[in-house]
Structure 1
Amino acid sequence: MSKTSSGHFFEDFNVGQVLRHATPRTVTAGDVALYTALYGSRFAVQSSDAFASAIRYPQAPVDDLLVFHIVFGKTVPDISLNAVANLGYAGGRFLSPVYPGDTLSAVSEVIGVKENSNGRTGVVYVRSTGYKQDGTEVLDYVRWVMVKKRDPASPAPDPVVPDLPEAIDPDGLGDACPLIDPQAWDDGLSGAPHRFGDYAVGERIDHVDGMTVEEAEHQIATRLYQNTAKVHFNQFTEGQGRFGRRLIYGGHVISIARALSFNGLGNAFHVAGINAGRHVAPLFAGDTVFAWSQVLETASISGRQDVGAVRLRMIATRDRPCHDFPLLDADGAYDESVILDFDCWTLMPR
């Protein structure tokens, strides 16, 4: 019996299957510093214990997307080691703050499977949940991923495609954010004068800056999350594949876009929910990422007078600045520069 694992292929997944993922991960201040070094995120609440304490956090929480990536990384060896591509996200909720010293683990349930028409791959839908060491849920989300079949001749399963919400109800947000004191919020220190009431539905914000991705940076980032997907690391195999080179982890793009969004959304201090997300096209080392956001909705949260929820559609582009807001071409397809279309709820002080 082999003592090594080649990962799960499409045939290995069944609806209702529960996967308990290996290697719990204690998050340290070193992880937080490295995450900052990789993306340069400047949101004050996650950057400063003093700022966070002033508004009633016990200390600066771990960046929401670092939590997401660590939980995601736990799932890769069991779900997407043999992936062709991670396709999308939905129904994501941040449920409890995470602080340095907390240990994260993850469990996933298979909620859908559908073989592709080529007979060589299929799409697997999973709901993954991240937990702290005491069993507190910190995050849950759905993602779907295209996975290779071990044997193209194996029979196709009955297709099951889950019914996913278009968006998280605003009243289901905010569990990962304690009641804050908006009067103690210092706009000068946060770097942005604009709060919840200053954003209008339909408004578009060009985040102006760009960030070029280096080969070493994206691989360090992906290893930080213990994400083992072959497409990100193994040039021996990926050099013979469709693109002839390694793909950059899609979450790396999300974190770059989020960091860039500080310019225009500096007080959107907390990503509270992930409504939808799609990796439209691949990104490679040497490409430069730009981003812009559109305000889709603003909402109050029941029982919360301290913060409001702003729903953003965040678009990341490759090698094309966003001053003209590229999204769809004349035929209704994505512009060739678009690499990410990400719909999320953020919280802002009132």
Structure 2
Amino acid sequence: MKTNPGRFFEDYVLGETIVHAVPRTISGGERALYHALYPARGALYSSDEFARTCGLPASPLDDLAAFHVIFGKTVPDISLNAVANLGYAEGRWHRPVYPGDTLRSESTVIGLKENSNGKSGVVHVRTRGLNQRGEVVMDYVRWVMVRKNRMDAPASTPVAPDLKPALDAKDLVIPAGLDFTRYDFTLAGEPHRWGDYEVGEKIDHVDGVTIEEAEHMIATRLWQNTAKVHFDATFRDDGKRLIYGGHVISMARALSFNGLANAQMIVALNGGAHANPCFAGDTVKAWSEVLDKAETAAPGVGAIRLRLVAVKQGAAPFTLRGEDGKYAPEVLLDLDYWALMPL
């Protein structure tokens, strides 16, 4: 057999490292398409001159665009036969990605647990994205529910990794040379700096975007995400193509510009859950909550920990969970991350 049907739950081995195929050299095209697909307006990612005044050699690729490229490489080996991508933890961006860099990915299986129905199981992997010099660009843990192919395959001994609920500010990697002492708030689009935000504050980002089938398909192909649930309408009983969760993440992050325009760089992903599925026709809105703040050693740079929540039409303001403690049905995404902001 020369074709690849993808891995099923029983094919994973605890501790194995999977080197993912097809490295990708980044060009300015990725940035242009990213900004076309999402209402992304971060000044640091839009202007070489703005980035240089902040101590960087040029405008880097958006952090989430780098994440999508690294993530997409893993899909044929990790989530081709997934039922759903369930969550993220311990994600760190170690260095910016610039046009001309070549990215590749590798993942180590760190957790396996078969579900009680015997038809699927949850696989935990730690993925590293590396550049052409073998330097780690980012790493993260994710867990995904994967179908079984052989129902009589014996269940492996369940192993669940011990993951941090959140990264501490001292764990953050600040890009070399980053300096916000000459930060131009006028050009960035908002006057609000690190000191203007309070822990516990909630921000309604106001704007909304209706998800289109065509744009979702372009995005998923751009990131070379081959998961069947995103492409094959016959793969789900309802006949719908599931919107790639990363598409929702980037849409919500872009919407958060209105109120958080100066949260310029994502440096850590503490946790994340795709609470409910998203489909074409859903209108996505977003709100954020300030969870923590910390100073950094970089001149003029503060760190802010944010909860980013994406909801769809019909959600009441700041909707998250129902009385039963479960995510409300209108909630699409609950994401916990650290970003860098001028003091």
For the aligned pair, the TM-score class normalised by the smaller chain equals: over 0.9
Task: Report the counterpart of residue 212 of structure 1 in structure 2.
Answer: 210
Within-5 A mapping of 1:1-350 = 2-175=1-174, 177-235=175-233, 237-238=234-235, 241-301=236-296, 303-320=297-314, 324-350=317-343
Per-residue Cα deviation, 1:83-117 (whole angstroms, up to 9, x for no partner): 00000000000001100110000010000000000
Is contact 2:178-2:298 (8 Å) kept?
A: no
Tell me the SS of whatever aligns to 1:30: helix
Structure 1 stretch displaced more, 23-32 or 328-337: 328-337
Structure 1 residue runs of 4 or more that deviate by more than 2 Å after TM superposition: 177-183, 241-244, 303-306, 330-333
Q: How far has the Cα of 1:178 moved from its partner?
A: 2.9
Question: Which whole-Å CA distance do the structure 1 matches of 2:298 and 2:272 have between them?
Answer: 27
Question: Which whole-Å CA distance do the structure 1 matches of 2:257 and 2:268 have between them?
Answer: 18
Question: Which whole-Å CA distance do the structure 2 matches of 1:305 and 1:55 have between them?
Answer: 10
Is contact 1:106-1:131 (8 Å) kept?
A: yes
Which sections of structure 2, spanning at least 5 residues, go unmatched? Answer: none
Query: How does the TM-score come out when normalised to structure 2?
Result: 0.98
Letter in 2 for 1:325: F
Tell me the SS of whatever aligns to 1:188: helix
Per-residue Cα deviation, 1:208-241 (whole angstroms, up to 9, x for no partner): 0001010010011011111100000012x22xx2
Question: Which whole-Å CA distance do the structure 2 matches of 1:306 and 1:15 have between them?
Answer: 43
Tell me the SS of whatever aligns to 1:51: helix
Question: Which whole-Å CA distance do the structure 1 matches of 2:36 and 2:307 have between them?
Answer: 25
Structure 1 stretch displaced more, 177-186 or 159-168: 177-186
Q: How far has the Cα of 1:299 moved from its partner?
A: 1.1
Q: How far has the Cα of 1:321 moved from its partner?
A: 5.5
Is contact 2:179-2:298 (8 Å) kept?
A: no
Question: Which whole-Å CA distance do the structure 2 matches of 1:314 and 1:243 have between them?
Answer: 29
Is contact 1:290-1:321 (8 Å) kept?
A: no
Question: Which whole-Å CA distance do the structure 2 matches of 1:280 and 1:330 have between them?
Answer: 16
Q: Percentage identity across aligned positions?
A: 58
Query: How does the TM-score come out when normalised to structure 1?
Result: 0.96
Question: Which whole-Å CA distance do the structure 2 matches of 1:209 and 1:321 have between them?
Answer: 13
Which sections of structure 1, spanning at least 5 residues, go unmatched? Answer: none
Per-residue Cα deviation, 1:93-144 (whole angstroms, up to 9, x for no partner): 0001100110000010000000000000000000000000011100000000
Is contact 2:179-2:299 (8 Å) kept?
A: no
* Aligned residues between the structures: 343
